[in-house]
Amino acid sequence: MAEFLSPPDLSKTLLGVGEKKAALPVPKMFILGILAGVYIGFAAHLATTISTGPFEWFGVQKFLTGAVFACGLMLVIIPGSELWTGNNLMTVALCQKRITFGAMLRNWVFVYAGNLVGSVFLAVIIAKFSGLLSGPVGGTAIKIASAKTASANIGDLSHNFAFFFRGIGCNWLVCLAVMMAVSAQDIAGKVWGIFFPIMAFVASGFEHCIANMYFIPAGIFAKDFTAAVEASKLDPSALDAINWGTMWSYNLISVTLGNLVGGAIFTGMVYWWIFVRGTKEA
């Protein structure tokens, strides 16, 4: 057996993957979505922890943060769960008319909702009950959340424009990581296939909507701890700008749309056009 699938075979394999995802019962979709939200949240908390401390070598710290964040997609792909950003690749099956738009949309809606529930659920556990965000790590969580809603206190919508394009870059790489994991025929191959694109998107500063479903709530909850607020060294106006409204209006809406373009169009549809359109299906 080959160690990995060729690009044409991989693209055709995505047809069956899309069909299976579209056929999942709604309760399974939602619960698997919750699990993926939790798994990405675990990676986000680990990345927050790695980013805390006096270590100031910008490039090295970015690399390390991206390196540990890669474990999130490994947890999603190998044990199995449903991640909205990866499911953007269902457009391969849609374009080949193997699934309907309604079936794909149903999956996206329930998986996205499950991802949100799982991410916030983990943020509640870590912030409210574990005590892990009550000090310097909480300060880092607040700073990360502030950076993701940075212009909310001055109403600068150019922030949304920039984050839309950061979202495109992110899910372009995430979907390539998913494709490389599907292509690999053993666990080691899947791990390495996931590692480099995910490390690249985090270290590059791109934006992932599901990760932000953990990062921003974690920052919101961490504001309850005086030591975390002091560690963040943010002024009151910046702290006030971190809230549930700005999470959507200054981040998740624009990042989600960017992720959709990067994954569903620039990856899924492009690979369908190149390798599946007009060919005999496997």
- pLDDT at residue 282, as a whole number: 47
pLDDT along the chain (282 residues), means of 10: 82 95 98 98 97 74 92 97 98 96 98 98 97 96 93 66 95 98 94 96 96 98 97 92 94 97 98 89 54
- pLDDT at residue 160, as a whole number: 85
Nearest partner of 42 among 111, 99, 103, 122, judged by Cα: 122
N-term to C-term CA, the chain:
17
CA–CA gap between residue 83 and residue 119 (Å, rounded): 11
- pLDDT at residue 164, as a whole number: 95
- pLDDT at residue 281, as a whole number: 62
Q: Which H or E run contains 260?
A: helix 253-260
Task: Return the structure tokens found at 31.
Answer: 């619960």
CA–CA gap between residue 115 and residue 40 (Å, rounded): 9
Residues with Cβ within 8 Å of 42's Cβ and at least 6 positions away in sequence, in order, are 71, 72, 75, 122
All structural domains of the chain = 7-273 (1.20.1080.10)
* Per-residue DSSP letter, 127: I
- pLDDT at residue 107, as a whole number: 98
Nearest partner of 265 among 106, 108, 92, judged by Cα: 92
